[in-house]
Chains A and B, each alone.
Chain A
C-alpha cells in the first residue's frame, strides 16, 4: 500500500504563517484514515523525517513572493523555482534547504507536491486574514479530493 503524507508547515501564532497547519486541521475528517497528517515548524531535519519513505508527500506552507495574499502557488518536486520562494518567516527558505538536503542524502519521497499560500499578515497573533482563509478552504477541498482519489485508485 502506498504511503501518503500531508505536511502543514508553519506557525499558527504568526497569523497567515498558520496556513499549513490550518489545512491539516481541515483535512482531519476529510481524508482516508490511511493518509498521514502532520504539522511541522519547517525545521529541515523534521521535514526530512516526515517525508522520507513516503510514496507521496504533500507539503503546504506559507510564502511571501510578492503575489497578492491568498494566491496559491502549486509546484511539483522538480520545479526549478522551489528554492527561490521568498519566506514568510525563515522557514520557506528552510523548505528549499530541506528539499536540497534530502536530495543530497537520497531522502526525498518518491513524489512531492507543494502548495504554497501567499501570506499577507505574519505578525504575532492567531487567525488568518480573509484572503488566506479562503485559499486554505480551497486547498482543503483540492487536497482532500486529490489524496482520496490516490488512496482509492490503488
Chain B
C-alpha cells in the first residue's frame, strides 16, 4: 500500500518499449535505495560474430540488430568502414542516405508518439483503446508512418532491413519517378506532423526536470543526422574518431547491455532532447516555427516533454525529406569504390533514439578483426535509472499500481530500444 516505508515495485515485462527488459525499484525506510533497469537480451554477440566477416558485410549484419532502426545501423556501419578505408562518398549519395534516414525517423518517431507514448498521457492502456475513442487521430498517425515506410521502400528496397544499402553508397539509385511519387504524400504528412506537435503539446506533463549532460552530433548549418562532431551542452567537443577516449562502457551486474558513461563517470543523455538542445538553431523553418508556436523552450529538461520534441523532429524529418525529394536526380554509379585497406574506422549517426557509434578494425585481407557498437539505449540506461530514482522518491505516496504505471511511462520517455541495447521490460518496485 502507499504508506509503507519499505516497498518494492516490479515491472516484469515492460510494455510498449522495443525489446525485452525489466525494471526493479527498491524502497527502504521511505528512501529509494536501488533502481535497476535490467536488460537480459544478449545482443553484444554481434560484435563477436562480425569478427572474421568481410569488410563489406557489417551494414547488412548490424541492420538485423533492430527492426525499428536498421537504417541507423547501416549508416553508422557504412561511415565507419568508409572511414577505415579513407573514402568519403559524393554528395548525391550522402543526400540519398539522408532521405533514407528521414524515412526511418518519420516511421520510428510516429510509431513512438502515436502507438507507444500518447496513450500514457491520455489515460489509455494502449493505442487500441485510444483508437476506439479517437479514431481520426490514430488514422493520422498511421498515415504519417506510412509515408516513412514508403521512403524506406523507395530508397532502401523494402521497409524492414533495407537491402539497397552498401558500403560506398547504394546498389541502385532509384529512378526519378519513384522518388517524385513521394512528394505529394510527404506534403500531406507535413501538415499532419504540424498538427501532431500541437496535439502533443496540449498534453499534461508531470512536473519533473533533470539536469543530465546532453550529447549529440552537431553539424553547423544543419540538424545533424549523418555527419558532424560530438558535442555536449557542457562544452565537451570531440570528433567521432575520438569517441572511445571519451565514452567508456562498463558492465553492470543486472544488465546484459553495457552502460556508457563519459570520462569521469559522468552520466549523459543522447536522443531528441539532446539534439534539440544542441542543434535548435539548425532546424528548418517549418520545424522551428511550430516549436515556437507551441512555446517549446530552447532546452527542454522535462523528459516527459520529449514527446513534443520528437514531434518537432518529425516535422523536421518530413520538411527535409520534401527538399531532398524535390532536388533528387538519379545518379550513376550508385556507389563509390571502397577498396579494403587495413586500419580502424569510426562512424556515428543520429538514430531516432540517439547517437549510434560504430568502430571497425579491418586487416590486410579485408576481414573485420574488431568491432564495437555503442547503441543509444546503452548510453541512456544510467540516465533512465537516475530519473526513476528521483521520480519515484517524489511519488512514494502513490500506491504500487499507480507508481508502477508512472515508472513505465517515465521509461517510455526515452523510447528505449532494448533490442538494440542488448526485448520485454519487467518492472519491480520493492518496498522491503
Chain A bound to chain B: yes
Chain A interface residues toward B at CB < 8 A: 11, 13, 39-41, 43-46, 48-49, 89-90, 93, 97, 100-101, 104-105, 124
Query: What are 25 contact pairs spanning A and B, CB under 8 A?
Result: A11-B64, A39-B160, A41-B67, A43-B67, A43-B111, A45-B111, A45-B142, A46-B159, A46-B160, A49-B146, A49-B149, A90-B19, A90-B423, A97-B128, A101-B127, A101-B128, A101-B131, A101-B138, A104-B128, A104-B131, A104-B132, A105-B131, A105-B135, A105-B138, A105-B139
Q: Which residues of the other chain, B, contact A44 by a CB distance below 8 angstroms?
A: 115, 127
Residues of A within 8 A of B19 (CB): 90
Question: In whole angstroms, what is the CA distance A93 to B424 when docked?
Answer: 10
* B1-52 interface (Cβ within 8 A of A): 15, 18-20, 42-43, 45
Beyond A41-B67, A104-B131, A105-B131: 10 further Cβ-contacts under 8 Å?
A: A11-B64, A43-B160, A44-B115, A45-B146, A46-B149, A46-B160, A90-B424, A104-B135, A105-B142, A124-B45
Give CA–CA (A124, B47) in the complex, Å.
Answer: 13
> Measured between alpha carbons, how far is A59 from B19 in the docked complex, in Å?
22
The residue from B43, B115, B138 contacting A124, defined by CB atoms under 8 A apart: B43
**Which of B18, B42, B68, B159 lies at the interface centre, i.e. has the most chain A CB atoms within 10 A of its CB?**
B159
In chain B, residues 146-199, which have Cβ atoms closer than 8 Å to a Cβ of chain A?
Answer: 146, 149, 159-160
Residue numbers in B under 8 Å from A40 (CB-CB):
160
Most buried by B among A44, A90, A97, A100: A90
The reply to whether A43 and B68 form a contact with Cβ atoms under 8 Å apart is yes
Q: Which interface class (under 10, 10 to 19, 20 to 34, 35 or more) fits B?
A: 20 to 34
Given contacts A46-B149, A49-B149, A90-B19, whether A11 and B132 have CB atoms under 8 Å apart is: no
Contact B45 A89 (CB under 8 A): no
Interface: B231 (CB within 8 A): no
A interface footprint on B113-135 (CB within 8 Å = 1, 0 otherwise) = 00100000000001110011001
Nearest A residue (CB) for B129: A104
Contacts of A48 in B (CB 8 A): 142
- Contact flag A90-B68 (CB < 8 Å), given A46-B159, A46-B160: no
CB-CB < 8 A to A45: which residues of B? Answer: 111, 115, 142, 145-146
- The smallest beta-carbon distance between B176 and chain A, in angstroms, is 25
Contact A41 B64 (CB under 8 A): no
Q: How far is the CA of A93 from the CA of B145 in the complex (A)?
A: 21
> Which of B20, B67, B126, B146 counts the most chain A CB atoms within 10 A?
B67
Nearest chain B CB to A86 CB, angstrom units: 11
Residues in A with CB closer than 8 Å to B160 are 39-41, 43, 46
Of chain B, the residue at the smallest CB distance from A100 is B128
CB distance from B389 to the nearest CB of A (A): 26
Complex Cα spacing A109 to B423, Å: 29
For window 293-324 of B, CB contacts with A under 8 Å fall at: none
Distance between B17 CB and nearest chain A CB, rounded to angstroms: 9
User: Cβ of A97: which chain B residues have Cβ within 8 Å of it?
Assistant: 126-128
Are B423 and A89 in touch, CB under 8 angstroms?
Answer: yes
Least CB distance, B328 to chain A, in whole angstroms: 24
The minimal Cβ–Cβ distance linking A145 to chain B, given in whole angstroms, is 28
CB-CB nearest in chain B for A40? B160
Q: How far is the CB of B37 from chain A (nearest CB, A)?
A: 16
Residue of A nearest to B418 (CB): A90
Bound CA span A81–B43, Å: 32
Find chain B residues with CB under 8 A from A101 CB. Answer: 127-128, 131, 138
- Chain A residues lying within 8 Å of B43, measured Cβ to Cβ, are 124
Q: Binary interface profile of B, 411-432, with partner A (CB < 8 Å = 1, else 0)?
A: 0000000000001100000000
Closest to A13 in B: B64
Docked Cα-Cα span, A89 to B19, in Å, equals 8
Of B43, B68, B131, the most chain A CB neighbours within 10 A belong to B131
How far apart sit A40 and B128, CA to CA, in the bound complex (Å)? 20
A49 and B423 CA atoms in complex are apart in Å by: 24
Q: Complex: how many Å from CA A125 to CA B173?
A: 32
Chain A residues contacting B149 (CB-CB under 8 Å) are 46, 49
In the bound complex, CA of A89 to CA of B160 (Å): 17
Chain A residues in 8 Å Cβ range of B423 = 89-90
In the complex, what's the smallest C-beta–C-beta distance from A45 to chain B, in angstroms?
5
A89 and B17 alpha carbons, distance in the complex (Å): 12
Assembled-state Cα–Cα distance A100/B142 (Å) = 15
Q: How far is the CA of A48 from the CA of B145 in the complex (A)?
A: 12
Closest CB of chain B to A66's CB: distance in Å?
A: 16
Tell me which residues across on chain A come within 8 A of B67, comparing CB atoms: 11, 41, 43
- Write the nearest CB–CB distance from B131 to chain A, whole angstroms: 4
Residues of A within 8 A of B15 (CB): 93
In the bound complex, CA of A123 to CA of B428 (Å): 24
Contact residues, B32-83 vs A (CB, 8 A): 42-43, 45, 64, 67-68
Residue of A at shortest CB range from B67?
A: A41
Docked pose: A105 CA to B146 CA in angstroms: 15
B230-256 interface mask toward A, CB cutoff 8 Å, 1 = contact, 0 = none? 000000000000000000000000000
